[in-house]
Amino acid sequence: MTTKMFKKILIANRGEIACRVIFTAKRMGIKTVAVYSEADKEARHVQLADEAICIGPAPSRQSYLVMDNIIQACKDTGAEAVHPGYGFLSENEQFARRCEEEGIVFIGPKYKSIAAMGDKIASKKLAKEAKVNTIPGVNEAIEKPEDAVKIAQGIGYPVMIKASAGGGGKGLRVAFNDKEAFEGFTACRTEAMNSFGDDRVFIEKFVEGPRHIEIQVLGDSFGNVVYLWERDCSIQRRHQKVIEEAPSPFIDPETRKAMGEQAVSLAKAVNYQSAGTVEFVVGKDKSFYFLEMNTRLQVEHPVTEGITGLDLVEQMIRVAAGEKLSFTQDQIKLNGWAMECRINADDPFRNFLPSTGRLVKYRPPEAVNEVRVDTGVYEGGEIPMYYDSMIAKLIVHGENRQEAIEKMRNALNEFVIRGIHSNIPFQAALLQHPRFVSGDFNTGFIAEEYPHGFQKDSVQPSDPKRLAALATFMRHRYLEHIKLIDGQLVGHEMVVAKKFVVVSGARVGSNENPYELATRIELKDSIYSVYVEDSESVSRYDIMSDWRPGEICLRASINGTRKITAQVERRGVRYHLVLDGAQYDCMVLSQLGAELQRRMPVKVPPDTSKLVLSPMPGLLTKIAVSVGEVVTAGQKLAAIEAMKMENVLTASQDGVVEEICATEGDSLMVDQIIIRFK
């Protein structure tokens, strides 16, 4: 049977996934149409596509989620098919059906398959019929909290109470006793109705020490379905994936085969025709149970591409065009190890609050040596507040897991983002953690290891003296650069110092708890030998580097080892270095400068106890108090929205409102004053 490939497709999405689809389509010789909101008119996916059409105002509910606008854009541009990416309308049964009715090919599964897998209760019934392992529980909607308690007692604690229409961690509670089951049921039902307009709730056994393992499947219109091994997505924060890898360090070949065959069985049961993902929860005894099926391309699909050599977007397009899969299960090889880090625009040191604004500097690592960067942004571009926080996906591939981890560490060290905050320091810290390195983790890993959040001191430098040596090298290179200035008097030329004092500690720039290291530097045969002395010993670091003042990435070989990459900045008289997620701030002073520094007064930070400051850039959606109002601790004061996240600000103590300093609808900056108290 011969098929006709599309000449033009429309991508009903934005950001990195839109760019990702465009690249594959171009390689296949297919023209592309981008759609964009008013906030995205300068976006990268708009620039990359052959055509672009505006579909509405900035909020997604007025643009990317408006089916009529997208279908009309297909008609206006002559696009024969639409790729939905992920998120937005990608799993919307109605949209897939509308496309089919309008004669537009939906590059994804048929709408009936989406409908069958879209409801958690219905999908579990189908999974049981297809002989797929399901978690013990009651999959019928439960009406009363008393019933929930009885059911939980029958299953055996702990149990998981889940909303049928839930997702992203909403409408989910874990109960370990009758009281928690009663209260959790009520809370889940309320949250589900508020978030999804559907208050159906069911209960199932909570698997202890759980891993989140998913199987990638691919089906065509001829009834052929294959599985493309597994992905381990257990590193999660608040039910959102952070690091994904393929294969899993936990799964053995027998379990992998059993999970894959069950995933294929489920896909065949719903006549699945596209790329899809069957998600499982796997216990510490390797027992596995069906969670749900995602009827779309996954964010983490590149790790599967890394270990199989397949382009999943290409396969989706070919299947949608009516082509038969060109390979069988036996022909799919598992090659090496792949890993992905999601690089998000949020601030890990402010409890991961969104960070929006202009990308003053954006320099991802080079896409060489099996390093890949999927991104939808560029240097100088804006990160808008209206959409999710993803900046890029950083993907690496190695011969084994250790090599993949090492490549990812190096790539994170080289990933430069300035102007906004990113979660790179957090990702780098995770890559260093002994439990992650050993593969001994589950979905509770981040909550267990960082119970009080992620702080700047959550990861410490493995060798602070090495960073002090690098700072000394930087200072010496700056002085060498200054010495090149013209017009120096003969006989009075600048002499570059060789002895320094590196001052670091809890408060660099004050005399409070300083930590001092004496350093000395020598240059011979292009090697800078830095001697670092503390009260106990002297350490020598031989540094070879072509780094020049002003460069953000300092690449160096130290003591003959392979090159490391640290991100470095000079901030006034201070030096800021970041290596493997560890932050190091210091001053590199002369011996006289260090003595004077010890005598400097401490600068007291301003008193902000009577101010309510914006914790993140965003839209001020609500002011809940008025001037003169008496408020009590815990009372709601205001609400700020950014990147699909609402942050409610509450009073930390009793007080009286003196002044409202912002207006509802204002776009706020970080630390902008909202309310002032008397």
Report, as residue numbers or ranges, the catalytic residues: 292
| Residues 578/567, Cβ–Cβ less than 8 Å | yes
As a whole number of angstroms, the distance between CA 430 and CA 342 comes to: 12
Task: Kindly give the interhelix angle for 111-118 and 93-101, rounded to the nearest 10 degrees.
Answer: 170
**C-alpha gyration radius of the chain:** 28
580 token code pair: 């493997």
- Paired strand residues for 72: none
Q: What is the 3-state secondary structure (H, E, C) of 25-42?
A: HHHCCCEEEEEECHHHCC
Classify 574 as helix, strand or coil.
Answer: strand
As a whole number of angstroms, the distance between CA 624 and CA 381 comes to: 34
| Residue whose pair of structure tokens reads 């009516």 in the numeric block | 322
As a whole number of angstroms, the distance between CA 262 and CA 215 comes to: 9
Neighbours of 101 (CB within 10 A): 10
As a whole number of angstroms, the distance between CA 163 and CA 92 comes to: 18
- Label the pairing between strands 8-11 and 31-36: parallel
As a whole number of angstroms, the distance between CA 421 and CA 412 comes to: 14
As a whole number of angstroms, the distance between CA 556 and CA 543 comes to: 6
128 token code pair: 């049981």
Give the DSSP letter string of 360-372: SEEEPPPS-TTEE
Give the DSSP letter string of 423-483: SHHHHHHHHH-HHHHHT---TTHHHHH-TT---TTSS--S-HHHHHHHHHHHHHHHHHHHH
Neighbours of 515 (CB within 10 A): 14
CA torsion 533→578→366→12, rounded to 10°? 170
| Residues 201/189, Cβ–Cβ less than 8 Å | yes
| Residues 412/427, Cβ–Cβ less than 8 Å | yes
- Paired strand residues for 582: 579
| Max Cα–Cα distance, the chain, nearest Å | 93
- Label the pairing between strands 105-106 and 574-579: unpaired
Q: Who contacts 496 (Cβ-Cβ below 8 Å, separation ≥6)?
A: 476, 479, 480, 483
- What distances in angstroms separate CA 120 from CA 92, 124, 155, 200, one per listed residue? 15, 6, 19, 10
- What distances in angstroms separate CA 601 from CA 510, 590, 618, one per listed residue? 7, 19, 37
Q: Phi and psi for 5 in degrees, rounded to 5?
A: -75, 150
As a whole number of angstroms, the distance between CA 440 and CA 445 comes to: 9
Buried b (16+ CB within 10 A) or exposed e, 82-97: bbbbebbbbbbbebbb
126 token code pair: 């189908």
604-611 contacts at long range (C-beta below 8 A, 24 or more positions apart): 610/655, 610/658, 610/676, 610/677, 610/678, 611/673, 611/675, 611/676, 611/677
